[in-house]
Chains A and B, each alone.
Chain A
Amino acid sequence: MTDAIVISGLSHIGPDTPTPPATFSRLSFETRETLGKKGTRNMDRLTALAIGGMADLMPTMGIDRETPRDDVGIVVGTAQGSIDSIVRFTYETLAYDRPDFVNPALFPNTVMNCAAGQAAIWYRLRGPNTTISCHEMSFLAALEYSHIQLRRGGAQMLLAGGVEEHSEVGEAAATLIAGQAGTEPRFAECSTFVALETAAQAQAQGRTALAEVLGVRIAFDPDAGSADALTDLIAEVLDGAGVTADAVDASVMSACWPDQRALEREAIARTLGPDAAPMATFDVYGNGGSGHNALQLRQLLAALSSGGIGLLVAQERHGNIAALLIRKGPK
């Protein structure tokens, strides 16, 4: 199928070893060391992580930072932008002698599309540039949005990713939420991007696909008390791809919160059978926030053999649900 959408590359900065419990894992990533001094003075960590996170894709995808590309765009999934940049800016208007002692150069960091816009400037990518906020499902929402954009011909290639920064405000917010939910705070910083394009284009450019996207759907479950909605969504994705349950070789669930984890497990069991043993991403890396589904995707790719079919599911705390079905490529 020539209009199939493939993942022709994946780049990643994030935890490669399991995250210990009850911590906020901060990557060794330092903005100036990785990106240099020029143009990074006022860059916040989220934006730097986004730019750094997609860097490894560029050579393979033929992107050189010199040539403007109207046919390549960026889709960033981020639940809140840099909550640290946003809240800190307001804090400074209140804490200083005068509110206008804030630094105007930091104001652009307080819009949620800062990372996507700055990355476009950095790599000179002038195609569709979109930021999507869907809590801990932001990466899958970005991937699904990109899938739709590519299908309509809105771009030749989209770099879709999920980015989460470790910050003072972010840590406080996550601790408060985890405390309310009665779970231990275990959060991981990460930035993961995939390059998406049509199979035909990847082939024409001599790029070997990491995986084909057989189907991706997101939906909302207003009841959030049963596994019915997620089960239906998985069935829809399998049917749409013409894949039967017994053809699925591996599965992964987000497993971020106890209640939703139970629903994810049930939906997978109802679809793939009681013996299905989905990987649980939270157990390995903790909660990757806006990039959590991307950590799931990496786990899934690692578990699949060439040609194997994998299922990724997510039931997010606010009622968002998602299912992604991939077939691993030959490499």
Chain B
Amino acid sequence: MERIVVTGLGVVSSIGCTLDDFERGLIEGHSGRAPAHNFDVSGFGAPQACEVKDFDPVAHVRNTPVGALGRSSQFSIGAARMAFADAGLDEADLKGRRIPVTIGTTDGESQTLDELARYWVASGLMDAPPELIEKSAAGNLSNAISREFGLRGASRTISTACSAGNYAIGNAFDMLRAGQADIAVCGGSDSVCRKTYSGFSRLGTIAPEKCQPFDLNRQGILTGEGSGILILETLSSAQARGARIHAELLGYGLSCDADHMVSPNAESVARCIRIAHDNAGVQPSQVDYVCAHGTGTSANDTVESQAIKAAFGAHVPPTSSIKSMVGHSMGAASAIASIACILAIGRGFLPPTINHDTTDPNCIPDCVPNASRKQQVRIAQNNGFAFGGNNAITVYGALDREVA
């Protein structure tokens, strides 16, 4: 069966809008949190959020009117353009090719939907401009990339909430494995919005100041945003054009809790880990690093830890949460975390869990507290879970693991 490799990475995040800045942020343990100002926080005081700073859509969006795109689509195009450049793929060579695009999201163009609510409150839904409705469609996230680069492959938006990035990566993997394409674009995108902040706030799951995954005194998430885009390629295509290969995508797994809309289920998550390992052809003992879903809520971190312990037995690998740094970027989260895994493999380090004081004894034993660690990573596992009990896990490996 054809091996699938990662040849390009693009990231827009609260700790950096280039791959280099993002990597430095992970190594140095940067925090993306700051007072929120990219969505309407009226009535909430002055909350913290992990928002994208210094992203100029005009620098990335060249073939589409920027004003016709919502924030999430702008992030998508930006991250895709950087990923193509990273992959050494020239825009002129891409145009017209049957390259599929699959983008995961929780809320799609959530800021335009927030705006629609504001029209409703102010004067009525029918006063909203039709352009706002056009901009708000979730399907735009993938279509925006396809249109911007003139790509003719299938253009799918997978809206399975906070594990959607991993779902999208899995879908692109399947397309390549099925021989439907040589190159595929995949990842996830989301924007901060009032809807999501209000919902998590009402559930009591927003940390007042900082996100502290696996900490005894963790208080919840910080909402975030961004986009992570991966260029996947068949090994033969990558080799034929002499592409630099970041890592191999070994496989992925999906499971559904079918139990509760918001409370995670340890048995189902453990099952998802086993499905992912089987699909990737790896043993638990071979996994060097787990990039956790690690939201920083009481429930997630406890349940995820139980599941990891159940699936890994006595040898739980170092497991960190980059959400401590970049916040919870929703549908982008597991795509951005996939990029962290791939960098960990390529550069030989474990991203830290920052803001860590005291490890919760009910959680995983080693969350790589506060400082990144130099360590060879041969195989990395990336966890993504979501409302609806939608679990998706991707597994990455160093390419020279078996075959050069």
A–B contact at 8 Å CB threshold (below): yes
Number of interface residues of B (CB under 8 A): 75
Cβ of A111 and Cβ of B387 under 8 Å apart? yes
Cβ of A107 and Cβ of B199 under 8 Å apart? yes
B130 contacts the other chain (Cβ, under 8 Å)?
yes
B255 contacts the other chain (Cβ, under 8 Å)?
yes
Question: What is the CA–CA distance of A175 and B133 in the complex, to the nearest angstrom?
Answer: 10
Determine the chain A residues whose CB is within 8 A of the CB of B113 once the complex forms: 83, 86-87, 90
With both chains docked as a complex, state the minimum distance between the C-beta of A154 and any C-beta of chain B, in angstroms: 7
A127 contacts the other chain (Cβ, under 8 Å)?
yes
Residue-wise, chain A 301-331 has the 8 Å CB interface mask toward B (1 for contact) of: 0000000000000000011100000000000
Cβ of A107 and Cβ of B202 under 8 Å apart? yes
Cβ of B203 and Cβ of A320 under 8 Å apart? no
B300 contacts the other chain (Cβ, under 8 Å)?
no
Determine the chain B residues whose CB is within 8 A of the CB of A229 once the complex forms: 152
Give the residue of B98, B138, B175, B256 whose beta carbon is less than 8 angstroms from that of A73: B256
Query: Which residues of A (86-134) have their CB < 8 Å from a CB of B?
Result: 86-91, 93-95, 98-100, 102-104, 107-108, 110-114, 116-118, 120-121, 123-134
Cβ of A112 and Cβ of B151 under 8 Å apart? no
Cβ of B116 and Cβ of A80 under 8 Å apart? no
Determine the chain B residues whose CB is within 8 A of the CB of A180 once the complex forms: 130, 134
A221 contacts the other chain (Cβ, under 8 Å)?
yes
Cβ of A100 and Cβ of B201 under 8 Å apart? yes
With both chains docked as a complex, state the minimum distance between the C-beta of A78 and any C-beta of chain B, in angstroms: 7
Interface residues on A, range: 35 or more
Cβ of B167 and Cβ of A130 under 8 Å apart? yes
Determine the chain A residues whose CB is within 8 A of the CB of B107 once the complex forms: 86, 110-112
- Stretch binding the partner chain, chosen from B74-82, B239-247, B259-267: B259-267
Question: What is the CA–CA distance of A94 and B39 in the complex, to the nearest angstrom?
Answer: 13
Determine the chain B residues whose CB is within 8 A of the CB of A73 once the complex forms: 254, 256
Most buried by B among A74, A89, A90: A90
Given contacts A90-B113, A128-B254, list 18 more A-B pairs with CB under 8 A.
Answer: A80-B138, A90-B198, A108-B261, A110-B107, A111-B106, A112-B160, A117-B261, A130-B254, A131-B158, A132-B157, A133-B137, A133-B159, A168-B125, A218-B155, A220-B153, A220-B155, A319-B146, A320-B139
What 10 pairs between A and B have smallest CB-CB spacing?
A: A117-B388, A129-B256, A107-B199, A112-B159, A90-B117, A172-B125, A133-B138, A180-B130, A99-B43, A220-B155
A-B residue pairs in contact (CB < 8 Å), sample of 10: A90-B113, A91-B117, A93-B198, A113-B160, A114-B388, A141-B154, A148-B171, A169-B116, A172-B125, A172-B126
Point out residues on B near A: beta carbons under 8 Å: 40, 42-44, 98, 101, 105-108, 113-114, 116-118, 120-121, 125-126, 128-130, 133-134, 136-140, 143, 146-147, 150-161, 167, 171, 174-175, 177-178, 193-195, 198-203, 254-262, 268, 271, 386-390
